[in-house]
């Protein structure tokens, strides 16, 4: 992956190659949640509803650094158990990865982690530390897979399309001219409830044609 | 926080975030405004599909909530029936980062009426915190004895004489009713009870709501703020109904809430009223934006053991296979909200005989109240249930009198002029014979499947011996009622302005129709283009965000109503613009049309190029504006702009499907191989939209017929290795879905002829615009065909849907 190669140029990442994570010592100390100096805790003087700094509550927080769509990012004060999907969508605003089922069934959340498709809803964000994450936003509209999907599958609701696009790219990287059964098998991790498989098979074939 | 977080109420397409942050071009001449609104191509356009593929299309879950946004979580009752004894939210509120917890009375809940009812909601800085807060809420239930089986309700009513739980009753009879006296010599009677479970919702379509409160200075000079309104971003199938429901739940006037319709996700739009109420209440309580999302844990699974709908059908046929009498008794388990299930009952009772002619019919139906989740609105309507029952009974009757199923269908086929069970006469084209003929002309897929093992039943590696794979084929017909007689009133309005800019003529259409992402606005553009002959058409929703469509978007007639309103408005604008040409031609402007780039008189004798005409009449940026309105009533007196079916008549959409299913009779796995679809689409305005409607109907049917609830897979797992009817998963994936062969649409609508002229010649007029609901017909016919094919393959008569092949075949 070209993004993985670009990766070395970012100093902050190579400097921290040990992979150790800084865990906020204040959080997750195991004390009663109300006692102790927990970030974001509401004090009695503060009425409910006043803006507060992002709270981690009784949860341990870390910060991670990774490359999203070629751009180095740092996510501070992230809960250790946050999913990659939550971090991408809610912390980084990359909403191309969709929140479908949250349990790895629908495939709407697929992103590429170092070039391999993963289900972002089941992948802990910690896994992305020091990795390159690619969402559908990385591809401009001139991209042949996006164009083929838009041409053939635009009449559906489109919620599954970003994930299907990424899986298709990874399929075409392995098999430049996949058969119909291979396309079906490759995309079987994505539940689309608007269009029958024929539209997607046509789209992948067209993407192959456009690549030539 | 007094700025809206997104443009409220405009065309969804205009809410697309910019592709790249503005690289502002510095031009001496400012770029003309029309450059941003290039005419979309024919079809559903290009901008929206491209945004979908690139992940930029703004679904409700993608709307930015702004700083300080909180996440909501919902706690649902584990008991189907319980009193709430004691609720303590204090431990939850003590958690840092938790901003509000509402439970019990504060949500308007005093007792639990069904499993999965929302009993507490929380808002916190992080979704996990919100869930933790709900775990900390102490709720003490006093579980009561739940009524989960509709049969219990009947038994109780008989025992006690108290039928308060039976909330609706319908009875339709034709002829002598379904008299089931002893069958005479050569006659045969088939009697089956069918059960329909609640389909599990596909996980691909979550509900998402974003509630943003707006504040303004309270004017008392102390820096205080007061609430001025609430903005609610959500996908909803019926915006006006949902808005009223939220207003009633949170106690705000209807003007105070701006509902911003978002695109649908999945065909069922992930509609969950609890999410809207929770987000609105929590946003008002905390004064912050609140996002609520419905995950799979929130899906109302109900009780898999007790079917939601039971149909007991008896058909009597003579030796020739002619249908003599039909008697049906059916019970709809309305769950906790039986009123919501009444439209389902009506549609099911009227359609359960199917598209077959029978002179003696008796149908009785009940809705009962139980402690199950609400049954209505049933996704896709009741036509599917009706078709499954009707086709299964015809197959059984054919077997009983020893004739082929196709023979029985052809012999008893309903024709225009026949009567439905509710006494209405069928009018308009009912081209079932034509559809059947084209269907029978198609090829069957080769058997046995292979050589690719991915084409075997049970998907990869789950087929036993190929010699145990049996193929079944089934043909099914379906009929969908268009304008039910009890329909109150549905209406749509539109405004069309014909004008010009430097690039030539342009049409602006303003209408409340929401484009939910499946090309509704493209249809309206097509309509305006057709009437006015102008290529550039821009459709907008009115600037007033409170202006929502008055009718349901999802299953309803909204697209049709809005197309008609736009057509009428466009015709009004056209006759204004063409008044001078009409004077030259010495005809009334209403008699002019625009066809193939020419303005022509109705009889085609006089014409003039439209470019020439528009260049003259639109000079000096002249604007021709007209309003249009279209209403539909189920009954009453027709008048211009109001469509009412003739009293006692019914318009139906029909479809004929053939499904081919392979069954592994050893391992009890199924594979739908091919579905062949023949549709009467009335008139196809946008082919890709119609094709997508068929495809989505087929997908929903495959989902419903073959999905197994998770607990059933677990049950079967003990002996079968833990998989559903199609494969290891709960839902059919692309690997298991059938190939769809869509035959060219039959367009039975005769076009735009005046209905009085048709009537004089003895024709029944088609519906205006040739409207026919393709998706519902597709869902109904496909589900019935898949069930028939599976019965054929298993050589058994399973009567429960979703199908469970285990325990059925020998």
Rounded average pLDDT per 10-residue block, chain B, 810 residues: 36 43 38 38 77 89 89 90 93 94 91 89 93 94 90 86 88 82 83 83 70 88 84 87 91 90 69 87 95 66 70 94 94 88 91 93 93 76 92 96 94 91 86 94 89 77 79 95 83 92 90 84 90 90 75 76 91 93 90 88 86 89 91 78 79 93 85 94 86 90 76 51 61 86 85 51 63 88 96 90 66
Do the beta carbons of residue A78 and residue A125 sit within 8 Å? yes
Instruction: List CB contacts of B38: < 8 A, sequence separation 6 or more.
Output: none
Residue whose structure tokens are 């020998």: B810
Determine whether the interchain pair B204/A108 forms a contact, defined as Cβ–Cβ distance below 8 Å: yes
Q: How far apart are CA B5 and CA A209, in angstroms?
A: 42
Residue B508: its pLDDT value, please?
A: 94
Residue A15: its pLDDT value, please?
A: 37
Residue B645: its pLDDT value, please?
A: 77
Instruction: List CB contacts of B163: < 8 A, sequence separation 6 or more.
Output: B157
Per residue, what are the HEC states of B88-141?
Answer: ECHHHHCCCCEEEEEEHHHHCCCEECCCCCEEEEEEECCHHHHHHHHHHCEEEE
Q: How far apart are the first and last CA of chain A?
A: 20
Q: How far apart are CA B646 and CA B763, in angstroms?
A: 13
Which secondary-structure segment (H or E) carries B285? helix B273-286
Edge-to-edge strand order for the sheet containing B257-261? Answer: B98-103, B118-124, B70-76, B290-294, B207-217, B225-234, B257-261
Do the beta carbons of residue B141 and residue B112 sit within 8 Å? yes
Determine whether the interchain pair A196/B44 forms a contact, defined as Cβ–Cβ distance below 8 Å: no
Cβ of residue B688 closer than 8 Å to a chain A Cβ: yes
Q: What is the mean pLDDT of chain A?
A: 78
Q: Which residue has the higher pLDDT, A17 or B363?
A: B363
Residue B694: its pLDDT value, please?
A: 93
Instruction: Select the residue from A157, A160, A186 to test the B interface by mutation, using most B Cβ atoms within 10 A.
Output: A157
Determine whether the interchain pair A157/B268 forms a contact, defined as Cβ–Cβ distance below 8 Å: no
Bridge-based pairing state of the strands B166-174 and B739-742? unpaired
B370 is written with which tokens?
Answer: 């139980």
Compute CA distances A199 → A169, A180, B533, B627, whole Å: 16, 12, 31, 39
Question: pLDDT by residue (tens digit) across A153-192?
Answer: 988 888 999 999 999 999 999 999 999 989 999 999 998 8
Residue among B130, B55, B140, B121 nearest B98 (CA): B130
Determine whether the interchain pair A101/B455 forms a contact, defined as Cβ–Cβ distance below 8 Å: no
B183 is written with which tokens?
Answer: 């069958």
Q: How far apart are CA B102 and CA B793, in angstroms?
A: 53
Residue among A89, A118, A110 nearest B61 (CA): A89
Cβ of residue A70 closer than 8 Å to a chain B Cβ: no
Residue among B763, B767, B762 nearest B749 (CA): B767
> Which residues of B, range 697-726, sit inside 8 Å of A by Cβ?
698-700, 703
* Rg of chain B (C-alpha set): 28
Query: Residues B90, B92, B97, CA angle at the centre, nearest 5°?
Result: 120
Compute CA distances B161 → B147, B153, B156, B166, B339, whole Å: 17, 11, 8, 11, 22
> Which residues of A, range 76-105, sit inside 8 Å of B by Cβ?
79, 81-82, 86, 89, 93, 95-103, 105
Residue among B514, B509, B494, B495 nearest B13 (CA): B514
Q: How many CB atoms lie within 10 A of CB A4?
A: 12
In sequence order, what are the beta bridge partners of B495? B510, B627
- Residues B757/B763/B768/B772 CA torsion (nearest 10 deg): -170
Q: How far apart are CA B675 and CA B695, in angstroms?
A: 10
Angle between helices B239-250 and B273-286 (to 10 degrees): 40
Determine whether the interchain pair B96/A59 forms a contact, defined as Cβ–Cβ distance below 8 Å: no
Alpha-carbon dihedral sign for residues A36, A38, A42, A45: positive
Q: Which chain A residues are within 8 Å of B60, Cβ to Cβ? A: none
Query: Residues B781, B787, B789, CA angle at the centre, nearest 5°?
Result: 100
Residue A205: its pLDDT value, please?
A: 96
Edge-to-edge strand order for the sheet containing B138-143? Answer: B111-112, B82-88, B138-143
Compute CA distances B203 → B65, B75, B139, B200, B240, whole Å: 24, 19, 29, 9, 26
Determine whether the interchain pair B734/A197 forms a contact, defined as Cβ–Cβ distance below 8 Å: yes
Bridge-based pairing state of the strands B225-234 and B257-261? parallel
Cβ of residue B778 closer than 8 Å to a chain A Cβ: no
Question: pLDDT by residue (tens digit) across B476-506?
Answer: 999 998 888 888 888 888 999 999 988 889 9
Q: How far apart are CA B325 and CA A2, in angstroms?
A: 72
Smallest CA–CA separation between B175 and chain A, in Å?
A: 42
Residue B249 CA from chain centroid, whole number: 25
In sequence order, what are the beta bridge partners of B111? B83
- When pLDDT is cut at 50, 70 and 90, the band that residue A141 belongs to is low
Cβ of residue A178 closer than 8 Å to a chain B Cβ: no
Nearest CA in chain A to B55: A96
Bridge-based pairing state of the strands B739-742 and B669-679? parallel
Q: Which chain A residues are within 8 Å of B293, Cβ to Cβ? A: 99
Instruction: Select the residue from A49, A104, A145, A196 to test the B interface by mutation, using most B Cβ atoms within 10 A.
Output: A196
Determine whether the interchain pair A146/B54 forms a contact, defined as Cβ–Cβ distance below 8 Å: yes
Residue B280 CB burial class (10 angstroms; 0-12, 13-18, ≥19): buried
Residue B46: its pLDDT value, please?
A: 82
φ/ψ (deg, to 5) at B723: -145, 160
Residue B501: its pLDDT value, please?
A: 87
Residue B32: its pLDDT value, please?
A: 34
φ/ψ (deg, to 5) at B130: -65, -40
A130 is written with which tokens?
Answer: 């020091």
* Residue A70 zone, left/alpha/beta (φ > 0; ψ -120 to 50; rest): left
Cβ of residue B728 closer than 8 Å to a chain A Cβ: no
DSSP-derived secondary structure letter, B588: -
Residue A23: its pLDDT value, please?
A: 45
Residue A22 scores a pLDDT above 70 = no
The structure's pTM equals: 0.86
ipTM confidence score: 0.87
Residue B376: its pLDDT value, please?
A: 63
Compute CA distances B726 → A7, B356, B704, B731, B736, whole Å: 44, 32, 12, 8, 7
Chain A to chain B, count of Cβ pairs less than 8 Å apart? 235
């Amino acid at each position: 992956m070209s993004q993985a190669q670009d990766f070395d140029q970012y100093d902050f990442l190579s400097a921290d190659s040990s992979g150790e994570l800084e865990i906020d010592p204040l959080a997750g100390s195991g004390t009663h949640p109300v006692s102790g100096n927990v970030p974001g805790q509401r004090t009695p003087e503060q009425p409910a509803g006043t803006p507060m700094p992002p709270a981690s509550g009784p949860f341990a927080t870390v910060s991670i650094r990774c490359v999203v769509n070629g751009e180095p990012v740092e996510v501070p004060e992230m809960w250790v158990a946050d999913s990659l999907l939550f971090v991408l969508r809610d912390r980084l605003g990359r909403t191309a990865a969709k929140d479908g089922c949250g349990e790895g069934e629908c495939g709407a959340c697929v992103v590429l982690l170092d070039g391999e498709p993963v289900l972002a809803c089941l992948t802990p964000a910690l896994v992305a530390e020091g990795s390159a994450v690619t969402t559908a936003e990385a591809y401009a509209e001139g991209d042949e897979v996006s164009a083929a999907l838009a041409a053939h599958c635009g009449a559906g609701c489109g919620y599954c399309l970003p994930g299907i696009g990424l899986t298709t790219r990874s399929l075409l990287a392995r098999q430049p001219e996949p058969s119909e059964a291979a396309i079906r098998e490759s995309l079987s991790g994505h539940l689309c409830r608007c269009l029958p498989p024929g539209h997607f098979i046509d789209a992948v074939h067209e993407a192959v044609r456009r690549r030539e | 926080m007094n700025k809206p977080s997104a443009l409220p109420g405009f065309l969804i397409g205009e809410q697309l975030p910019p592709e790249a942050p503005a690289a502002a071009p510095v031009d001496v001449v400012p770029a003309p405004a029309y450059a941003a609104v290039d005419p979309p191509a024919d079809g559903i356009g290009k901008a929206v599909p491209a945004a979908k593929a690139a992940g930029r299309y703004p679904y409700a879950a993608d709307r930015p909530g702004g700083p300080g946004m909180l996440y909501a979580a919902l706690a649902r009752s584990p008991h189907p029936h319980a009193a709430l004894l004691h609720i303590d939210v204090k431990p939850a509120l003590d958690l840092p980062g938790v901003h509000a917890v509402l439970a019990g009375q504060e949500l308007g809940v005093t007792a639990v009426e069904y499993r999965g009812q929302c009993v507490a909601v929380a808002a916190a800085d992080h979704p996990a915190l919100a869930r933790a807060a709900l775990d900390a809420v102490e709720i003490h239930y006093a579980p009561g004895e739940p009524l989960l089986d509709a049969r219990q309700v009947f038994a109780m009513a008989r025992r006690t004489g108290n039928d308060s739980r039976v909330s609706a009753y319908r009875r339709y009879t034709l002829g002598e009713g379904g008299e089931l006296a002893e069958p005479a010599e050569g006659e045969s009677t088939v009697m089956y009870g069918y059960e329909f479970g609640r389909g599990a919702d596909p996980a691909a379509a979550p509900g998402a709501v974003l509630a943003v409160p707006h504040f303004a200075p309270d004017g008392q000079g102390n820096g205080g703020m007061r609430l001025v309104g609430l903005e609610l971003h959500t996908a909803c199938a019926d915006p006006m109904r949902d808005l009223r429901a939220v207003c009633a739940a949170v106690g705000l006037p209807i003007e105070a809430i701006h509902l911003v319709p978002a695109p649908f996700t999945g065909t069922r739009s992930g509609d969950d009223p609890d999410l809207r109420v929770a987000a609105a209440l929590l946003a008002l309580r905390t004064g912050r934006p609140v996002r609520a999302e419905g995950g799979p844990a929130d899906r109302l699974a109900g009780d898999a053991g007790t079917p939601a709908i039971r149909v007991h059908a008896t058909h009597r046929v003579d030796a020739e296979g002619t249908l003599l009498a039909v008697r049906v008794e059916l019970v709809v388990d309305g769950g906790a909200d039986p009123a919501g299930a009444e439209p389902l009952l009506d549609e099911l009772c009227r359609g359960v005989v199917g598209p077959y002619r029978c002179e003696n019919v008796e149908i009785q139906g009940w809705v009962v109240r139980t402690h199950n989740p609400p049954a209505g609105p049933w996704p896709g309507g009741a036509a599917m249930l009706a078709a499954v029952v009707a086709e299964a009974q015809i197959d059984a009757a054919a077997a009983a009198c020893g004739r082929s199923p196709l023979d029985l269908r052809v012999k008893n086929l309903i024709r225009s002029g026949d009567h439905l069970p509710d006494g209405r006469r069928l009018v308009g084209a009912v081209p079932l014979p034509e559809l059947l003929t084209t269907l029978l002309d198609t090829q069957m897929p080769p058997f046995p499947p292979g050589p690719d093992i991915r084409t075997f039943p049970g998907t990869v590696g789950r087929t036993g011996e190929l010699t145990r794979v049996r193929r079944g084929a089934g043909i099914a017909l379906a009929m969908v009622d268009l304008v039910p007689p009890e329909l109150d009133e549905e209406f749509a309005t539109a405004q069309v302005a014909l004008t010009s800019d430097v690039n030539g003529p342009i049409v602006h259409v303003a209408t409340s129709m929401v484009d939910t992402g499946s090309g509704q606005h493209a249809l309206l553009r097509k309509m305006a283009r057709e009437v006015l002959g102008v290529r550039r058409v821009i459709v907008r929703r009115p600037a007033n965000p409170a202006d929502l469509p008055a009718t349901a978007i999802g299953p309803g007639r909204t697209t049709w109503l809005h197309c008609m309103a736009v057509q009428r408005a466009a015709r009004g604008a056209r006759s204004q613009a063409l008044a001078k040409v009409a004077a030259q031609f010495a005809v009334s402007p209403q008699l002019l049309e625009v066809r193939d780039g020419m303005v022509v008189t109705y009889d085609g004798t006089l014409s003039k190029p439209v470019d020439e005409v528009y260049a003259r009449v639109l000079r000096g940026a002249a604007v021709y504006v007209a309003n249009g309105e279209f209403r539909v009533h189920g009954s009453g007196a027709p008048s211009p702009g109001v469509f009412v079916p003739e009293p006692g008549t019914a318009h139906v959409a029909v479809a004929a499907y053939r499904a081919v299913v392979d069954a592994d009779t050893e391992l009890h796995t199924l594979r739908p191989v091919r579905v062949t679809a023949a549709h009467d689409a009335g008139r196809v305005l946008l082919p890709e939209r119609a094709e997508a409607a068929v495809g989505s109907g087929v997908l929903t049917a495959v989902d419903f017929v073959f999905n197994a609830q998770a607990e059933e897979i677990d049950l079967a797992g003990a002996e079968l290795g833990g998989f559903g009817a199609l494969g290891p998963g709960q839902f059919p994936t692309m690997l298991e879905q059938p190939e769809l062969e869509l035959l060219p649409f039959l367009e039975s609508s005769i076009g735009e002829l005046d209905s009085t002229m048709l009537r004089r010649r003895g024709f029944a007029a088609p519906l205006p615009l040739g409207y026919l609901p393709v998706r519902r017909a597709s869902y109904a016919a496909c589900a019935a065909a898949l069930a028939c094919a599976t019965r054929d393959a298993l050589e058994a008569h399973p009567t429960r849907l979703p199908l469970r092949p285990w325990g059925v075949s020998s």
